Structure 1
C-alpha cells in the first residue's frame, strides 16, 4: 500500500464528513484545519505501516500524558517551531530587531506580586549562591521604555518551581515577581541561583524522550515576559551559557543572544542583560497569547 491510498474517493469522503465540510454550520477555518491534521495522521499511518497495536499504544500514551502535555510540546520541537514561524512572518513583514523570542514553557503562574526597585525574588531558604541580574529595557532606537512590567520566574536550586514543586516545600510565588520599571527602563533583581531540571522520571515525557534516544534535561535558565504600552509583548528566557546543557536543551529554548555566562565570584553570580522591544503595530501586539496559564 502507498500513500496514494489516502487520496482514494472513499478516504477523501471520510475526511470531508469527519471534518464537517459536508455539514452546515460550524467554524469553516476549524473544519479546514481539522481535515488537514487528520489527513496528515492518516498519511503517516499508511507511510509507516502503523499497526493497530502501535496506534492504540499512541492513543494510550496521550491519554496518560495529561499534565505533561506542556513538556511534550516543547520536547518534540513544536513550541520552538512556533517561534520560527513567528520569526519568518516578522521577516516577511519587514519587522526585525529586538531581543529574540523563545518558548514560554508550561510553568508560568499569573498574579505574582507587583513590586518596584531592586527586587528580591526568593522568599524561601535555599543553600546556594546568589544571582544578581541587572539591565535596561529599551525600544528599537535605544530609547528607555517607560511603564514596562517585567515578569520573572525561575526554579530553585533543586530545579523545582513554586506551585509545581513535588515536595510541596516552596511558598507561593517563590522566585516569581512582576517588576514595575521606572522611566529610565532599568531593572535589578536578585535571587537564589536556579538549577536546571529534568522531566519527571518515568513519566510520559521521559518515556518518550528515551524512546527517541534523547534526554529530558534543561539547563539553568530564567524566564521573562516584558510588556509596555506601545511595544510588542516579548516572551523570552536566558539559558546560562556555562551550563552543560546550554547547547543541548531538550526544549530547544537556546537561541543566539540568549546565552549570557554568569560572572561567578565566590558565592555570587552576576548577569547583565538588556531587553530591546519592538514597537507595536497594532493593539493586539501588546497582549499575551491565548495560551492557558496557571493561576494562584
Structure 2
C-alpha cells in the first residue's frame, strides 16, 4: 500500500472491499464509500464536525426502543424513505395507487375486525366518521377478500404504540367483500408533530423546519397475485399537505371529508372514500416493498435474545 492521502484514501478503501463475496453488498458499499468520501471533500469536513456527526448518530441509535424507531424517523425527515419508496414504485409492472411511507408505527399484531366495526376505543363528540372504499386491480375489477390493514393517530395526535405498546387502538385489519368494498368507523384524522424530543427533532429545529405531518390514515393492502400496497390518504385541506416533514403525500392520495355521500354504506356520519388499485405481482415483489417496519419486530428480539440488529430486523 502506498502513501495514503486525501486523494488516495478512497481507492485504498475500495481495494480492500473489492473481494466482498456478495456482489450486491460489494456494489452498494463501494458506492456508499465513494459518495461518503465525496461529501467529506465537498464540505471540507472538519474533525469537530465529524465528531458531532458521530455523536448525533450514536444518539439516534440510543433513543430507539420497542416503541420508537428513531433511525426510520431520521430516514423519513431526510427524504430517503420517500426516495426509496419511489424507486420501488418504479419497479411495478402496472401503475396502481401511489404508495406512501409505512412509517415507524405500523404493528403486525393488529386486531381483525368485521365490516363496519369501529377502530377507536374512545370517540369525542363530532369526531366520528366512516371510512370506506373499493379495492380493485388497475382495470377496475373488484378484488374480493383483499386484506386491508389500517392505522392512525387518536385525537391527541399519538399512535397507540407511543402511549401503551401492550394494547391496540385506532387500528384494525379488514377484509373486502365480494364487490371489493371495505368499510369501518373511525375518527377524523388530525395533523401532528413527529417526535421532537430526540436527536431527529433537534436536527429538524436546527434546520428551521416545523416538524408537522398533515392529517392522514395509513393503509397496507394485500391480495393473492397482487403487489402489496403500502399507502396513506391525506386530507386535502390540511395546511401541511404541501409541506410534510417526511415528504409523504402525492396528488392522488388527497381526499376530502364528505358530509352527505349517498354512496356511503353507513348513513348519518361524515365519510371519507378512498379507493385503491393494486398492480399485479412482478419479479421485484418477491422482496418486501415496505419502507419502514414494526418497531417492536426490529428491536424486541435484540432485547430478548441478544441477537445482532441485522438478525433482529428480518
Which interval holds the TM-score relative to the shorter structure? 0.7 to 0.9
Preserved CA contact (<8 Å) 1:158 1:194:
no
Preserved CA contact (<8 Å) 1:149 1:178:
yes
Shift of 1:140: 1.9
2:202 maps to 207
Preserved CA contact (<8 Å) 1:231 1:286:
no
The structure-2 alpha-carbon separation of the partners of 1:250 and 1:291, relative to structure 1 and needing over 3 Å to count, comes to closer
TM-score by length of 2: 0.81
- Correspondence for 1:156 among 154, 157, 175: 154
2:67 maps to none
Preserved CA contact (<8 Å) 2:105 2:159:
yes
2:174 maps to 179
Shift of 1:264: 4.8
Residues 1:246 and 2:244 are matched in the alignment: no
Residues 1:50 and 2:45 are matched in the alignment: yes
Preserved CA contact (<8 Å) 1:129 1:269:
no
Root-mean-square deviation (Å): 2.5
Shift of 1:124: 3.2
Judge which range, 149-158 or 65-74, deviates more.
65-74
1:276 maps to 277
Judge which range, 120-129 or 43-52, deviates more.
120-129
Q: Deviations over 1:183-207 (max 9, x none)?
A: 2111111112232211223421221
Superposed, which structure 2 residues align to 1:72-151 within 5 Å? 72-90=74-92, 95-126=93-124, 129-151=127-149
Preserved CA contact (<8 Å) 1:120 1:191:
yes
Preserved CA contact (<8 Å) 1:148 1:181:
yes
Preserved CA contact (<8 Å) 1:123 1:171:
no
SS at structure 2 position matched to 1:163: helix
Judge which range, 247-256 or 34-43, deviates more.
34-43
SS at structure 1 position matched to 2:169: coil
Judge which range, 122-131 or 43-52, deviates more.
122-131
Preserved CA contact (<8 Å) 1:115 1:178:
yes
Return the structure number with greater strand share: 1
Preserved CA contact (<8 Å) 1:115 1:177:
yes
TM-score by length of 1: 0.85
Shift of 1:227: 0.2
Alignment gaps of 5+ in structure 2: 65-69, 261-267, 298-314
The structure-2 alpha-carbon separation of the partners of 1:62 and 1:176, relative to structure 1 and needing over 3 Å to count, comes to same
Preserved CA contact (<8 Å) 2:132 2:181:
yes
The 1-side partners of 2:78 and 2:288 are apart by: 27
Shift of 1:285: 5.3
Shift of 1:60: 0.6
1:33 maps to 28
How many aligned positions are there? 279
Preserved CA contact (<8 Å) 2:192 2:215:
yes
The structure-2 alpha-carbon separation of the partners of 1:71 and 1:11, relative to structure 1 and needing over 3 Å to count, comes to closer
Preserved CA contact (<8 Å) 2:102 2:292:
no
Q: Deviations over 1:153-187 (max 9, x none)?
A: 0000111001122xx4x871201101022221111
Shift of 1:253: 0.7
Superposed, which structure 2 residues align to 1:211-222 within 5 Å? 211-222=206-217
SS at structure 2 position matched to 1:116: coil
